[in-house]
Copies of this chain bind each other. A is one copy, B any other.
């Protein structure tokens, strides 16, 4: 299972370009009487994310030999949904962040009301893109329904929103490891797991493949979140694009704050190995997923 010669950098930049072109085509033009809200949507989606979640949809689909055309609307939907969550998390009533990826946050540019609405519109657009007739012809409708369900479940009160709520409710508190695990799993891992799973569903994967790929994504998601928390302590502010140490200042519950940084690093590595071993039954079409797992741990931002 040696995968050392896969060129991840080229893969990521090709997929990012594909996703960015599709997003630009499918996001609404900033015209008409509600133009500023559409401008706010485009501003935040365009603010230079890593596009990890949509790429995981493409890579998850590739592992089961999907038609990439069938994955692109869902990939863009996932990025819209992720962007909505960042816009709302940054609001004054939530994390009150002024910077995101080195740029002013949505509400700093457009005001709170339009930022709330831009987030709402992006969340809604996610489900529109998943089902828009021009984009989804040729995909089995059962697969689309299932993918919509997986997305909604991973994003809602039993997924990402539940994690964000638990995070806010526990700020400044000393928490049990089980609360920390709940927050990490729900805030990040649920949606990363859903990304890989949606790729596998839309790509027509067998049931056991879908389950394995979901578990790979969830495991990767936990590693991803721990790595984020480590970067917030040890990362380079210039590279990350936001101030270091914000978790500590906001008294966020993080893996390093509960277990210490060395244990956090060991845990991230252990999860990485587990994620990669879940891919054992898959052939070379799962190379992108293997390489992404390593990248998640090695990344500097």
Enumerate chain A interface residues (CB-CB to B < 8 A). Answer: 28, 32-34, 36-38, 41, 84, 88, 91, 93-94, 111-114, 116-117, 119-121, 123-125, 127-128, 130-133, 136, 140-142, 144-146, 148-149, 151-153, 155-158, 161-166, 168-170, 179, 182-183, 186
Contacts and interface: CB of A to CB of B under 8 A. Distances in A.
A116 B94 contact: yes
Contacts of A182: 32-33
B117 A161 contact: yes
A155 B33 CA distance: 16
Contact of A124 (B91, B140, B155, B179): B155
Given A33-B179, A127-B127, A41 B157 contact: yes
Q: DSSP majority for the A interface? A: helix
Nearest to A156: B124
Contacts of A113: 93-94, 168
Nearest to A181: B33
B166 A34 contact: yes
A165 B36 contact: yes
Given A41-B157, A130-B148, A144-B145, A117 B36 contact: no
A136 B133 CA distance: 20
A145 B152 contact: no
Given A116-B94, A136-B145, A165-B37, A28 B131 contact: no
Contact of A161 (B111, B124, B131, B141): B124
Nearest to A96: B113
A182 B33 CA distance: 8
Contacts of A183: 33
B125 A157 contact: yes
Nearest to A151: B127
Nearest to A168: B113
Contacts of A119: 120
Contacts of A94: 113, 116
- Give the one of A140, A152, A170 with max B CB within 10 A: A152
A145 B156 contact: no
A37 B125 contact: no
A149 B162 contact: no
